[in-house]
Structure 1
Amino acid sequence: MKKDILIWGAGAIGGTLGAYLLRAGYDVTFVDIDEAHVAAMNDPQQGLTISGPIDNFTQHAAAFTPATLLKAHPDTRWSRIFLAVKSHHTLIASETLQPFLAEDGFVLSVQNGLCEKTIASVVGKARTLGSFVNFGADWTAPGQITYSNRAAVVVGELDGQITPRVVALHQDICHFEPDAILTSDINAYLWGKLGYASLLFAQAVGEVGIADSLARQELWPLWRELAGEVVAVGRANGIALKSFNGFNPEAFDPEAPLSLSEQSIIDMVEFNRPNVKTHSGIWRDLAIRKRTTEVDGQLGEVVRIGAEFGIKCPKTEGLIQLIKEIEQGKRPQSDCNILELLEK
């Protein structure tokens, strides 16, 4: 048997996107490792509820854990698998989902970080597509996701070709985000998100929200350095980073005028200020869910690739250390952490 869309990871990103596609009439199946979340989605009295200022609706979804999917659908293959797990779970998830992928199908990474290479190492580069997402959503309880704000959504082939399958995918994604972009340079957006993510990881070590953190003028030199390290590594790797939702990579070039970086920071503050989602998902991982963040899969990759080009990333390395100390319970989340990083 062959089916259409399998959402692997039904949290904030996968759950929101999948719910919209399900509502639009697509054949969507969900997989998640959280048994309570899976049970809630399958419960006729509950289902998967998307709530918040953007939309409010409930979809009754077919959901499984990886183990129960194998029992229920041992011979079923999916044409499109949307992978939406945390970056550090990419390899094991790719290996687990591979038997469910149709020979002529593909895996779409709907993740933060540079996960496409890992996916391709398992299912093949020809069966891997990339996407960039920046919308705000939070998993709040089993069967419950808060969709807080619209933002950039981009899809593309890894080699930049505009193929029939990516054109069709883009049209389908527009049921969720009408302004979704079809790009011939998905890596430029993925690296742009890494630059922005460096600021979100910094916000996560403190207490105040994204807009309030970015708006602190005494920290603007730090934002310039952090994002600047990502921009430098990306460019050394041949990537011309793309702008989105106020983040302008050009503004964080070491040679860029201060006025340009200041304007980009102001634009990011203005974009984030109205959002119901005040704190990053990284902050929630540390403060509320008490779990490991994606710091190794995102900023760790920046440091690793930078080393290959002889580029040092001292602020990024310092931020990674702060995140790990918080994860290990050795350091509380405090705005003092950001000031400490500024002074290093």
Structure 2
Amino acid sequence: MNAEDESPRLLVWGAGAIGGTIGAYLVRDGFDVTFVDVAADHVAAINELGLSITGPFGDFTVQAPAFTPDTLKGQWDTILLCTKAQHTAQAAKSLAPHLKVGGAVVSIQNGLNPLTINEHIPPQRVLGSFVNFGADYLEPGVVHYGGRGVVVIGEQSGQLTEQAKRLHVILKHFDEAAILSPNVFGYLWSKLGYGALLFATAVTNDSIADALNRHEDRALYTELGREVMRVALAHNVTPEAFNGFDPAAFLPAASDMQAQTSLNEMVAFNRRSAKTHSGIWRDLAVRKRRTEVDAQLGWVVKFGQQYGVPTPLTARLVTLIHELEDGSRELGRENLAELHGLLIQERA
């Protein structure tokens, strides 16, 4: 199917790693795409030189208009919200006037962000999307696409509506294996479980694969995954597997061997990617900015408290990340020592 057959006008709100990659592929496939980003230098570079995608899947540059939120005018049929999770509320408030009546917003982010967008846009107009591909913003106008991963879209209600089917077709122009799911929140909760592991790897300078492959830390990673999955079950969510993360391996009845197998598969998946470190680590070590920890793991702690499900490791990990953000501690494997000590204390 050609892009012209669907003829939607697409607004990509957040032209960084996720939005820049997806948007560039859609432009290359003939879609009418407009980019929005708060970084004025990035917007200027896109307008002057185009948006360039680099990496193992080929280098290319596309031409598309780009704006900062304060200079944007007009309305769009479809808005792909691709900002960092902590910026969701402000972005949703800012983009709402640019959504046509009957249009849709797709949250293509980490975390349970449709719940936040619902406060500004009717839930029936807000879809969730789960992505696990590897990409990094390198510099103004340039994004590195380092590794493919699962792409999922679905209605919050779980219904396979015509709206969801139409948007699924659009995402297939980015990744032909994109999935239309009746359980998108199952994927998003699994990403929180995987995300807890990534946040733990990010307090060190190890790559994702090297960190997850350290057998002396496997019990810690296993318990972090189990904390998130226990909260997901209490929240009446059925987690979905993806790219080596098998939520069943972290459920209460699962064995340590099942968790080991899943961790091995996550190591293998990450070894295949040109993106060696998480975006979390990049935020801490390279870009020196706040991470998505509150907008991701904060949900786990919040719902854990609501349902009476203890999440001591997750809560302490959130604190560790904040201390790294504030500069009161430095990246290194010694940061895991506190989590190991807490794990021993909890098991005593």
- Normalised by the length of structure 2, the TM-score is 0.95
Q: CA deviation at 1:4?
A: 1.2
Residue identity in the other structure for 2:30: G
Please name the residue that 1:59 is paired with: 62
Q: Which moved more, 1:296-305 or 1:254-263?
A: 254-263
Partner SS state of residue 158, structure 2:
coil
Q: CA deviation at 1:68?
A: 1.2
Equivalent-residue separation in structure 2 for 1:333 and 1:230 (angstroms): 24
Aligned length: 336
- Contact (CA 8 Å) 2:289, 2:325: kept in 1 or not? yes
Residue identity in the other structure for 1:41: I
Structure 1 residue runs without a partner (length 5+): none
Please name the residue that 2:51 is paired with: 48
Please name the residue that 2:176 is paired with: 178
- Contact (CA 8 Å) 1:40, 1:142: kept in 2 or not? yes
Matched, 1:26 2:31: yes
Please name the residue that 1:80 is paired with: 78
Matched, 1:130 2:128: yes
- Contact (CA 8 Å) 1:54, 1:150: kept in 2 or not? no
Matches within 5 A, 1:180-199: 180-199=178-197
Deviation string for 1:82-105 (max 9, x for gaps)? 001111111111000110000110
Equivalent-residue separation in structure 2 for 1:4 and 1:274 (angstroms): 34
- Contact (CA 8 Å) 1:152, 1:244: kept in 2 or not? yes
Partner SS state of residue 172, structure 1:
helix
Q: CA deviation at 1:339?
A: 2.7
Q: CA deviation at 1:77?
A: 1.1
Partner SS state of residue 97, structure 1:
helix
Equivalent-residue separation in structure 1 for 2:167 and 2:235 (angstroms): 28
Equivalent-residue separation in structure 2 for 1:337 and 1:314 (angstroms): 16
Q: CA deviation at 1:272?
A: 0.4
Q: CA deviation at 1:29?
A: 0.3
Q: CA deviation at 1:27?
A: 0.8
Please name the residue that 1:267 is paired with: 265
Matched, 1:89 2:94: no
Equivalent-residue separation in structure 2 for 1:182 and 1:57 (angstroms): 28
- Contact (CA 8 Å) 1:139, 1:145: kept in 2 or not? yes
Match of 2:114 among 113, 116, 141: 116
- Contact (CA 8 Å) 2:8, 2:31: kept in 1 or not? no
Partner SS state of residue 288, structure 2:
coil
Matched, 1:328 2:293: no
Partner SS state of residue 123, structure 1:
coil
Q: CA deviation at 1:276?
A: 1.0
Residue identity in the other structure for 1:283: W
Please name the residue that 1:300 is paired with: 298
Matched, 1:68 2:71: yes
Q: CA deviation at 1:20?
A: 0.5
Equivalent-residue separation in structure 2 for 1:86 and 1:42 (angstroms): 22
Deviation string for 1:87-143 (max 9, x for gaps)? 111111100011000011011000000000111110110110000000000000000
Partner SS state of residue 311, structure 1:
coil
Structure 2 residue runs without a partner (length 5+): 1-6, 343-348
Matches within 5 A, 1:235-246: 235-246=233-244
Equivalent-residue separation in structure 1 for 2:136 and 2:64 (angstroms): 18
Please name the residue that 2:43 is paired with: 38
Partner SS state of residue 77, structure 2:
strand
Matches within 5 A, 1:247-258: 247-258=245-256
Partner SS state of residue 79, structure 2:
strand
Partner SS state of residue 154, structure 2:
strand
- Normalised by the length of structure 1, the TM-score is 0.96
Matched, 1:98 2:101: no
What is the RMSD of the two structures over their aligned residues, measured on CA atoms?
1.0
- Contact (CA 8 Å) 2:103, 2:125: kept in 1 or not? yes
Please name the residue that 2:335 is paired with: 337
Q: CA deviation at 1:173?
A: 0.7
Please name the residue that 2:276 is paired with: 278
Equivalent-residue separation in structure 1 for 2:182 and 2:271 (angstroms): 31
Q: CA deviation at 1:331?
A: 0.2
Deviation string for 1:196-233 (max 9, x for gaps)? 00000001100110000000001110011101000000
Q: CA deviation at 1:60?
A: 1.0
Partner SS state of residue 234, structure 1:
helix
Equivalent-residue separation in structure 2 for 1:274 and 1:89 (angstroms): 30
Q: CA deviation at 1:3?
A: 6.5
Runs of 4+ in 1 over 2 A off after TM superposition: none
Deviation string for 1:306-336 (max 9, x for gaps)? 1000011000011011100000000000011
Please name the residue that 1:200 is paired with: 198
Matched, 1:13 2:11: no
Residue identity in the other structure for 1:252: F
Distance 1:80 1:268, change over 3 A: same
Equivalent-residue separation in structure 1 for 2:252 and 2:41 (angstroms): 48
Equivalent-residue separation in structure 1 for 2:120 and 2:8 (angstroms): 21
Q: CA deviation at 1:274?
A: 2.2
Partner SS state of residue 139, structure 1:
strand
